Structure 1
Amino acid sequence: MRTGKIAPQLSSMQAVIEAGPPALDIAHAALEHARSGGDGVLPFGDVRLKAPLPQPVQMRDFLCFEEHLKNSLARAIDVAAAGAADPAKARAQLEASGRFTIPPVWYEIPVYYKCNRMSVIGPDEDVIWPRYAHVLDYELELAAVIGKRGVDISRERAREHIFGYTIFNDVSARDYQMREMTGSLGPAKGKDFDTGNILGPCIVTADEIEPYSLTMIARVNGEQLSRGSSSTMHHRFEDCIAHVSQSETLYPGEVLCSGTVGGGCGLEHGRLLAPGDTVELEIEKIGVLRNRIVKRG
């Protein structure tokens, strides 16, 4: 219904999240007004979606999918052994070294790093290839957006703090990432560059979605490269929220990313990106996040 009044609660997605249920009530009323033929409605083709949260309050990226981790470690052995004089011998030595097995701590806690929240772009924006990198990759992830402030949140109450869900493409400079992480820190510049963090195409509110039964599909130039499911998360968002909020306050507008679904990056398939590629990441009930890779001279 129309009131003729300005609704500051709808001035941005961050404002909606911070205002909580009252803002959603106003948004629902506006939607019903549009559905009933009300004015102020624009055709979808006349608008361009931007990142739903252009500057999130905070971003954390976890490593929640065991299959992705196993696949990536196996691929790292393939790459290292292929460059050796005796590939079979090198492979046996690498496998025996224990460096390419999942560490026990991964099963104990949901490990994460903090992303660069200032480098976020949205759907249909170009990803600019970082000048220092030679190998670029996409990563298909589900992300939860925090809607309610809290500290020392129990796993049992964690879902109450989730506003909604979106798609995250964690674009990665693989060559630089692998190099810097030998220094026992990171990732940093392997992940941190302008246009490297992509969110969208929208945020679906938590009441509209069951997060652990979603099909997740990755395509490059229209070719489907992987199909996975959020049901395979070893650590779930409840675990992540309980872990992070220990003696640390979580705020509305923070984004917690799941890490890559099994098969959800080019590294796992030996198919890395090239300039001009178009990446489409799709998650059931959320939509498609589409971006083009651009390398400037």
Structure 2
Amino acid sequence: MKLVTFTQKNDVNGAQYIADRYISDQYIGALLDGGQRIAVLQVGKEAMTGSPSPFFTDMLAFLRGDAAARDEALTVIEYIVDQHPPDSIVYPDSVVLLAPVPRPESIRDYMGFEQHIINCIRAAGLKKLAPFDEWIEKNFGRKRSIAYRLNKAWYERPIYYKGNRFSVVGPDAPVRIPAYTKKLDYELEWGIFVGKSGRDIPEEKARDYIGGYTIFNDFSARDIQMEEMGGRLGPAKGKDFDTGNTMGPCLVTPDEIPDPYNLTMIARVNGEEWSRGTTADAGWTFEKIIAYVSKSETLYPGEFFGSGTCSGAQGRGCGLEMGKFLEVGDTVELEVENIGILRNRVES
């Protein structure tokens, strides 16, 4: 299933895009016909049984319901498609899609792709020495490079920072550029929502704890981020600002993506392709991440884990790696195979 959280357009006011926090009338639905229609799950459930479902009040409730919620959703979708109860179908142009989980229980963003951190060390740290370091790697191997030696911790464990769950917005929401940055950047990422509680989860069972996948754009104020992280902590205001975390357009249940590490990822700015990669290049898979982070710690449904920026043999996954940044008026699209396109416009 591809599931969305939405509100009716006539319920939306200008405050809606400030992290969705003023929207009260949210609905969850399932995309039909390749996204041409949306089945409203709670309306269908009430038409089918005469009573609402506790699983369909919002996407967090759905995730907490685990397999029982998924089974009930499939039954309701079949009923809606067959019986067409009134008001059980809406069309995308009549609604506003929010982030699949407008307020995740938490956000942790990882550095899952080796090439991203290597590229960033060279671009932001080594700078003029970057070509020399690339020469070292080409002639003597990566382990002899400066970038490798400056980042040995990456190879030992999946490193992450905790993001601001109150800054999440959905597809087509404007991203407000912070007044304090001159280097706003995008990041080509995707992520998972935890689907059930667990602790000390072994890697071989970790996929059972994935409730769904979505696209994630971790907008970043690179100039501020680099200054902050020079203090051996952060990122702080380099990542934390209203509308800085965009997610969507939908939550895709794991059964729809049987091979999650074979997906093409693309970033476009104003229609021009800037980045291309594949989930196959992930050095730290979500299963490895879950196994690590659940050590002596309970995970809960609705927590979000970002993959980190997708960089690899096919391309570079953010502007920092290429030395170019976003401007007011730019439209950024992230596309992940089997999920869709997450589009946002940069505004002042």
Regarding TM over 0.5, the answer is yes
Secondary structure of the residue that 1:183 maps to in structure 2? coil
The aligned counterpart of 1:196 is: 244
Counterpart of 1:291 in structure 2: which amino acid?
N
The aligned counterpart of 1:146 is: 194
Aligned mates of 2:165, 2:261 — CA distance in 1 = 25
Residue deviations 1:202-244 (CA, integer Å, cap 9, x gap): 1100111021111000000011112100000001111111111
The answer as to 2:338 corresponding to 1:290 is no
The aligned counterpart of 1:232 is: 281
Per the TM alignment, residue 48 of structure 1 is displaced from its structure 2 partner at its CA by: 1.4
Counterpart of 1:227 in structure 2: which amino acid?
R
Secondary structure of the residue that 1:184 maps to in structure 2? coil
Residue number among 42, 46, 51 corresponding to 1:5 in the alignment: 51
Runs of 4+ in 1 over 2 A off after TM superposition: 33-37, 96-102
Aligned mates of 1:115, 1:88 — CA distance in 2 = 33
The aligned counterpart of 2:151 is: 103
Counterpart of 1:6 in structure 2: which amino acid?
P
Aligned mates of 2:149, 2:327 — CA distance in 1 = 30
Q: How does 1:1-297 map to 2 (within 5 A)?
A: 2-36=48-82, 38-39=84-85, 40-77=88-125, 80-81=127-128, 98=146, 101-209=149-257, 210-262=259-311, 263-295=316-348
Aligned positions, number: 286
Q: Does structure 2 retain, via aligned residues, the 8 Å contact 1:156–1:238? A: yes
Per the TM alignment, residue 72 of structure 1 is displaced from its structure 2 partner at its CA by: 1.5
RMSD over aligned CA atoms reads 2.2
Aligned mates of 2:146, 2:70 — CA distance in 1 = 51
Aligned mates of 2:344, 2:131 — CA distance in 1 = 39
Residue deviations 1:127-149 (CA, integer Å, cap 9, x gap): 01111111100001110110010
Aligned mates of 2:166, 2:57 — CA distance in 1 = 20
Per the TM alignment, residue 27 of structure 1 is displaced from its structure 2 partner at its CA by: 1.4
Per the TM alignment, residue 44 of structure 1 is displaced from its structure 2 partner at its CA by: 2.2
Aligned mates of 1:126, 1:98 — CA distance in 2 = 39
Secondary structure of the residue that 1:193 maps to in structure 2? coil
TM-score between the two structures when normalised by the length of structure 2: 0.78
Per the TM alignment, residue 294 of structure 1 is displaced from its structure 2 partner at its CA by: 0.4
Could you tell me which runs of 5 or more consecutive residues in structure 2 were left unpaired when the two chains were aligned: 1-43, 136-143
Q: Does structure 1 retain, via aligned residues, the 8 Å contact 2:279–2:310? A: yes
Aligned mates of 1:281, 1:168 — CA distance in 2 = 8
TM-score between the two structures when normalised by the length of structure 1: 0.91
Aligned mates of 1:88, 1:140 — CA distance in 2 = 24
Secondary structure of the residue that 1:268 maps to in structure 2? coil
